[in-house]
Amino acid sequence: MSNKGKFRPKNPQKYKGDANNIIYRSTWEIKVMNYLDENPNVIWWGSEELPIPYLSPVDRKKHRYFPDFIAKMRKADGTVMTYVIEVKPEKQTQPPTQKRKTKTFLQEAITYEVNKAKWYAATEFCKDHGWQFLILTERHLGIR
């Protein structure tokens, strides 16, 4: 999944933000960027352009979460919906399972709890705006 660089959109007018500075951090993100850039039902989109405040369960302080994408899209029935999208491996969307409390397990557990706090904040933020929050995994992206 690891791969970093700059994405060059074919339709820069659809991008909200600086279309010359779109950073991807994985091949999965490139796949979503290509979809958002080339799909005629996408009205506009952005990558890490939306800050959402959340309370970290680790330090009990407010932080800002920047979901991977935001996109305004025309649905099949003609209505328009704004989606806030996070791209994650399915394994990271589930609590870690391990009997022994190794350093790796503890780090995975902390990451999962922080992600849960971010995703809760994003879900509530989207509800307040009439939007929808989605987490896309390799299953959604057709990656094995």
Q: Do 27 and 3 form a contact (C-beta atoms < 8 A)?
A: yes
Q: Which of 14, 37, 68, 86 is catalytic?
A: 68
Q: Do 58 and 113 form a contact (C-beta atoms < 8 A)?
A: yes
pLDDT value of position 97: 84
pLDDT tens sequence across 73-116: 999 999 999 999 999 999 889 988 877 778 888 888 999 999 99
pLDDT tens sequence across 18-27: 999 999 999 9
Banded pLDDT at 2 (limits 50, 70, 90): low
pLDDT tens sequence across 23-65: 999 999 999 999 999 999 999 999 999 999 999 999 999 999 9
Q: Stretch 5-27: mean pLDDT, rounded?
A: 95
Q: Can you give the pTM of this predicted structure? A: 0.91
CATH assignment of the domain containing 122: 3.40.1350
Measure the CA dihedral 45/48/49/51, to 10°.
130
Instruction: Give the chain's domain count.
Output: 1
| 80/90 Cα distance (integer angstroms) | 28
Would you call 38 a catalytic residue per the annotation?
no
Domain that holds residue 117: 2-141
Q: Which of 48, 88, 108, 116 is catalytic?
A: 88
Residue 1 has pLDDT above 60, yes or no: no
| 41/29 Cα distance (integer angstroms) | 19
Would you call 29 a catalytic residue per the annotation?
yes
- Classified as helix, coil or strand, 91 is helix
Mind giving me the DSSP string for 34-79? Answer: HHHHH-TTEEEEEES---EEEE-TTT--EEEE--SEEEEEE-TTS-
| 53/44 Cα distance (integer angstroms) | 23
